Structure 1
Amino acid sequence: MKEPLFLQPVFQERIWGGTALRDVYGYEIPSDRTGECWAISGHPNGQSIVKNGAFAGKTLGELWGSNRELFGNLEGDVFPLLTKILDANADLSVQVHPDDAYAKEHENGELGKTECWYIIDCKEGAELVFGHTAKTKEEFVHQIEAGNWDQLLRRVPIKKGEFFYVPSGSIHALCEGTLVLETQQSSDTTYRVYDYDRTDANGNKRELHLDKAIDVTTIPHQDPQLNITTEKREGAEITTFVQAQYFSVYKWDIDGDLHYTQTHPFLLMSALSGDGSLEIDGKTYRVKKGDHFIIPATVHQFTMKGELELIVAHP
């Protein structure tokens, strides 16, 4: 199977969503409250469907079950990664995710959730919540019970093009006016810590998960140490954001012809901007802004051409 797997995104409506997924990428979104594009997903809550070739119409989860050779014969019950684009038209809830061991025990075998963000765009003065100030669990609990959110939560100013790595156990939240590409473990488990006392149309506040959040939050907060590097190659500039336990994430700025030899179980590729092509075994596939696809393990060499900005990830 010497072809890419182009995927149909799945859209999720959220109370904090907006229209950027349509305005920026031209996607057909279900409403003006669309918060998430699940671009590459084998998760049962939103499965990507293959659009092209021999496996057209199959879900990514089905392929993981039936054609594991496409994914380097990796072990595991579920496709391990999930790529999203998030439109934070309003502040997201402040939340934290469990690690694998806690999620397996408390969330019916679900994976934990370590994730990362590439800031596609953001409004001037945008920020995000990342981490907290508590030195002990007692202090953490006290600040939550007292509602001292301004003292407890760390706010970080952000700019377009920045990258944040968010290990499980990290308190975090995207804030209003932010468009991000998220690479994460394939998990939909979130423990909500604070939701700004928002209510839905019926006047109900969203559920919080304070006991579990207190269980899993890393105290004191630890900022991950990243070593972001950039390498110039013929036809491209490749930035390495993170190489970690669950995933490695890069940015490929294509400007010409990049010849690449594939050595990973598979590559997840998302075109943030531009227009170009992918050549495999003499066959050419157009790649344009908003496309998401997988280069399977069965493709050993390929060429990217044109002017493209890609986020690339692998396990």
Structure 2
Amino acid sequence: MTEPLFLQPIFKERIWGGTKLKEEFHYEIPSSQTGECWAISAHKNGQSVVENGLYEGISLDKVWEEHPELFGHYQSEVFPLLTKILDANRDLSVQVHPDDTYAQEHEGDHEFGKTECWYIIDCEPGAELIFGHHAQTRDELEHMIQSGKWDDLLRKVHINPGDFFYVPSGTIHALCEGTLVLETQQSSDTTYRVYDYDRVDAEGNTRDLHLDQAIEVTNVPHEDNELSFMEEQRTGAFITTLVESEFFSVFKYVLDGAGSFKQDSYFQLFSVIDGEATMTVGGETYKVHKGDHFILTSQIEEFTLDGDATIIVSHP
């Protein structure tokens, strides 16, 4: 099959969500507190469904399970990646994710750890996020958490549109108010909450914290990752390699005309975050617009893109 798999997003209401997913991408969202668009997902907690072609109406996990040839027989029991767009209308909880070993021991055999990365699509002037901490030992980390010394513990970073952050498992982090992000991550929904600003939901309840697990899995001391963005000018596109890791590689394509490209992985995930373009695959032409998400399978060896668009591309 040489056609792309276009996917129907799933939306998640969150206490910190807003309406940017509708305003920016024209999605039909469930409420004014919609925080997450699960754009490409085969996770049990949110299944994308194919919108077109031979597999129309079938969930991505079923396609993955029943048609491994579409994904180059990539060796993983479950689809390995999850692409989201997050609307942080308010601060997210301060949290940390486990690695694969800890997740499989404590959360079940089919749950990955969660290394992720963020591309800042947009943010308010002066916006920031929490990335890392200042504790030097695990005892100091535990003391500062138990004592509520959040201003001393948490490391804040100012951000701008176009910034990129690689967030390995074990990194204390939080998106903050006024931030719109495309997130590429391992296919995991395991989060250990460290601090939630003592806020309550509509029923007056605070959200659960997971302090023992968080202290256990947090990297101490925090270390920043050195990212070296590789840039390549091709006919029709300027391509930036944002990260290449053991879990995923992520690229930004800025299209400025027509270009031809080759499938250089088992399969590739595409998210159009601005503009529009035409994509030609196997002699068929498809219009792609801001807010579209699709997979190019391993059976697509070559494709062309023509337009004025920004696309985030990833593969395992």
Fold match (TM-score > 0.5): yes
Question: Matched residues in 2 for 1:36 and 1:298: separation?
Answer: 31
1:170 corresponds to = 171
Per-residue deviation at 1:258? 1.5
Q: State the AA in 2 paired with 1:56.
A: E
Query: Does 1:37 find its partner at 2:37?
Result: yes
Runs ≥4 residues deviating over 3 A = none
Which secondary structure does the structure 1 equivalent of 2:233 belong to?
Answer: strand
Structure 1, unaligned stretches of length 5 or more? none
2:103 corresponds to = 103
Which secondary structure does the structure 2 equivalent of 1:144 belong to?
Answer: helix
Question: Matched residues in 2 for 1:17 and 1:258: separation?
Answer: 37
Question: Matched residues in 1 for 2:32 and 2:77: separation?
Answer: 35
Q: State the AA in 2 paired with 1:59.
A: S
Question: Matched residues in 2 for 1:92 and 1:147: separation?
Answer: 17
Q: State the AA in 2 paired with 1:104.
A: Q
- For residues 46-81 of structure 1, what are the alpha-carbon distances to aligned partners after superposition, in whole Å with 9 as ceiling and x for unaligned? 100000111101110001100011111011111000
Query: Does 1:64 find its partner at 2:88?
Result: no
2:303 corresponds to = 302
Per-residue deviation at 1:200? 1.3
TM-score (norm 2): 0.99
- For residues 9-53 of structure 1, what are the alpha-carbon distances to aligned partners after superposition, in whole Å with 9 as ceiling and x for unaligned? 000000000000000000000000000000000001110000011
Question: Matched residues in 2 for 1:107 and 1:199: separation?
Answer: 26
- For residues 183-220 of structure 1, what are the alpha-carbon distances to aligned partners after superposition, in whole Å with 9 as ceiling and x for unaligned? 00000000000000111122211000000001100000
Pairs aligned (count) = 315
Question: Matched residues in 2 for 1:250 and 1:261: separation?
Answer: 14
After superposition, the CA RMSD in angstroms is 0.6
After TM superposition, the structure 1 = structure 2 runs for residues 122-161 of structure 1, keeping only pairs within 5 Å, are 122-161=123-162
After TM superposition, the structure 1 = structure 2 runs for residues 5-84 of structure 1, keeping only pairs within 5 Å, are 5-84=5-84
Structure 2, unaligned stretches of length 5 or more? none
1:256 corresponds to = 257
Q: State the AA in 1 paired with 2:257.
A: G
- For residues 141-171 of structure 1, what are the alpha-carbon distances to aligned partners after superposition, in whole Å with 9 as ceiling and x for unaligned? 1101111000000000000000000000000
After TM superposition, the structure 1 = structure 2 runs for residues 203-242 of structure 1, keeping only pairs within 5 Å, are 203-242=204-243
Q: State the AA in 1 paired with 2:117.
A: C
After TM superposition, the structure 1 = structure 2 runs for residues 188-207 of structure 1, keeping only pairs within 5 Å, are 188-207=189-208
Question: Matched residues in 2 for 1:254 and 1:38: separation?
Answer: 24
Question: Matched residues in 1 for 2:271 and 2:82: separation?
Answer: 12
What percent identity do the matched residue pairs reach? Answer: 61
